[in-house]
C-alpha cells in the first residue's frame, strides 16, 4: 500500500475537513435560532432545522431535546447533528434550550414543551396532527416525562438513550410507541440498567422497540435503518 507523504497529508487535511463541513452543511436544511414566546409570557430559545423539501409544503414536527443540562451549546450541537438527520427525512425539527439547565425535566419544564408545540403548530409549514418527541440521555428522559402527561398528543418517543425504573410511572404509556437504544459501552453504566428499563416499560404495556448497540458509547450515531422503519410504522395513525 502506498503511503501519503507527510507534507501532502498536511496540505490535504484542512481541505478534507473543509469539504466535509461544506458537504455536511449542504445536506442539512435551513437552520435558525429563534426566541419563541410561550402562552405564559416566557420565552424559549429554540434551534429550528427546516427540511429542504416537504410534501405539500407541510412537515411533521419533532421536538428534539439534547443531553445533559440542555444548554445552548448542547442544543446547538444536537440540532446540527441529529436534527439535521431528521430534517433530511422531511421533519421540521425544534431543539429547545432548557431555561434552567435541567433539560426539560419536571412539571414546569414539561409544560413549556407543550406550550412550544402549540406555538409551532401555528406555523403554516407544520403538518397538523401529532408531534414526535425525541431526546438524547437527559433529553430522552425528558421526552418520556412529557409523553406520560399527554400520550394522546404524541406519535411516540425516540429515547436514544434514556432510563426508566418504574412500571407504575409509565402506566399512562400503555400501548404507546417508544424507540429505545442504549450503547453497549455506555461510559455511565447505562447498559447495565437496560434490562431494568425495558422491564419498567414493558410491564406498563408500552409498545417498545428496544436494543443494545454493541460497542457504542453513551452518545452514538443513529441506526437509521431501524429508526426509519419505526418512524414509518408509527406515522400510520389508526
pLDDT digits (tens, 9 = 90+) for 130-140: 999 999 999 99
What are the C-alpha distances in Å from 76 to residues 33, 106, 212?
Answer: 9, 22, 27
Query: Worst-scoring range by mean pLDDT, 12-21, 97-106, 110-119?
Result: 12-21
Q: Which domains does the chain have, with CATH numbers?
A: 29-234 (3.40.50.1820)
| pLDDT for res 27 | 44
Whether pLDDT at 199 is above 50: yes
DSSP string, the chain: -PPPPHHHHHHHHHHHHHHHHHHHHHHS-EEEEEEEE-TTS-EEEEEEEE-S--GGG-B-EEEEE-STT--HHHHHHHIIIIIHHHHHTT-EEEEEPPSSSBTB-SHHHHHHHHHHHHHHTTSTTBPSS-EEEEESTHHHHHHHHHHHH-GGGEEEEEESS-----TTTTGGGTT-EEEEEEETT-TTSGGGGHHHHHHHHHTTT-EEEEEEETT--SS----HHHHHHHHHHHTS--
Mean pLDDT, range 156-165, rounded to an integer: 97
Shortest CA distance to 125 belongs to which of 77, 65, 60?
60
Provide, rounded to the nearest whole percent, the portion of the chain with pLDDT above 90.
83
The per-residue pLDDT for range 58-78, each reduced to its tens digit, is 999 999 999 999 999 999 999
The answer on pLDDT for 22 being more than 90 is: no
**Average pLDDT across the chain, whole number:** 89
Q: How confident is the model at residue 56 (pLDDT cuts 50, 70, 90)?
A: confident
Poorest-pLDDT segment among 30-39, 54-63, 156-165: 54-63
* Mean predicted confidence (pLDDT) in 195-205: 97
Residues 37-60: what's their mean pLDDT? 92
Backbone angles phi, psi at 169, to 5 degrees: -60, -30
The confidence score (pLDDT) of residue 29 equals: 56
Asked if residues 150 and 113 have their Cβ atoms less than 8 Å apart, the reply is no
Q: Give the whole-angstrom CA distance, residue 133 versus residue 10.
A: 43
Q: Which residues contact 176 (CB under 8 A, 6 or more apart)?
A: 147, 151, 154, 156, 157, 206, 207
Rounded Cα–Cα distance for residues 155 and 32 (Å) = 25
Comparison of pLDDT for 9 and 225, the residue scoring more = 225
Q: What is the C-alpha to C-alpha distance for residues 44 and 112, in angstroms, rounded to an integer?
A: 8
55-59 mean pLDDT: 84
Is residue 26 over pLDDT 90? Answer: no
Amino acid at each position: 500500500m502506498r503511503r501519503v507523504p507527510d507534507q501532502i497529508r498536511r496540505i490535504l487535511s484542512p481541505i478534507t475537513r473543509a469539504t466535509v463541513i461544506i458537504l455536511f452543511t449542504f445536506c442539512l436544511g435551513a437552520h435558525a435560532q429563534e426566541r419563541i414566546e410561550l402562552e405564559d409570557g416566557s420565552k424559549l430559545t429554540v434551534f429550528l432545522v427546516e427540511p429542504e423539501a416537504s410534501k405539500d409544503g407541510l412537515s411533521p414536527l419533532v421536538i428534539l431535546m439534547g443531553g445533559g443540562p440542555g444548554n445552548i451549546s448542547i442544543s446547538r450541537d444536537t440540532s446540527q447533528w441529529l436534527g439535521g438527520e431528521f430534517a433530511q427525512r422531511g421533519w421540521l425539527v425544534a431543539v429547545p434550550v432548557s431555561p434552567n439547565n435541567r433539560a426539560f425535566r419536571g412539571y414546569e419544564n414539561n409544560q413549556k414543551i407543550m406550550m412550544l408545540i402549540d406555538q409551532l403548530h401555528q406555523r403554516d409549514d407544520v403538518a397538523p396532527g401529532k408531534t414526535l418527541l425525541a431526546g438524547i440521555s437527559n433529553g430522552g428522559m425528558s421526552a418520556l416525562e412529557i409523553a406520560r402527561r399527554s400520550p394522546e398528543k404524541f406519535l411516540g418517543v425516540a429515547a436514544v438513550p434514556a432510563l426508566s425504573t418504574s412500571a407504575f410511572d409509565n402506566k399512562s404509556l400503555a400501548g404507546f410507541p417508544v424507540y429505545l437504544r442504549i450503547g453497549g459501552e455506555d461510559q455511565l453504566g447505562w447498559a447495565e440498567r437496560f434490562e431494568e428499563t425495558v422491564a419498567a416499560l414493558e410491564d406498563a404495556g408500552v409498545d417498545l422497540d428496544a436494543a443494545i448497540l454493541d460497542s457504542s458509547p453513551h452518545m452514538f450515531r443513529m441506526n437509521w435503518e431501524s429508526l426509519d422503519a419505526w418512524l414509518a410504522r408509527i406515522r400510520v395513525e389508526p
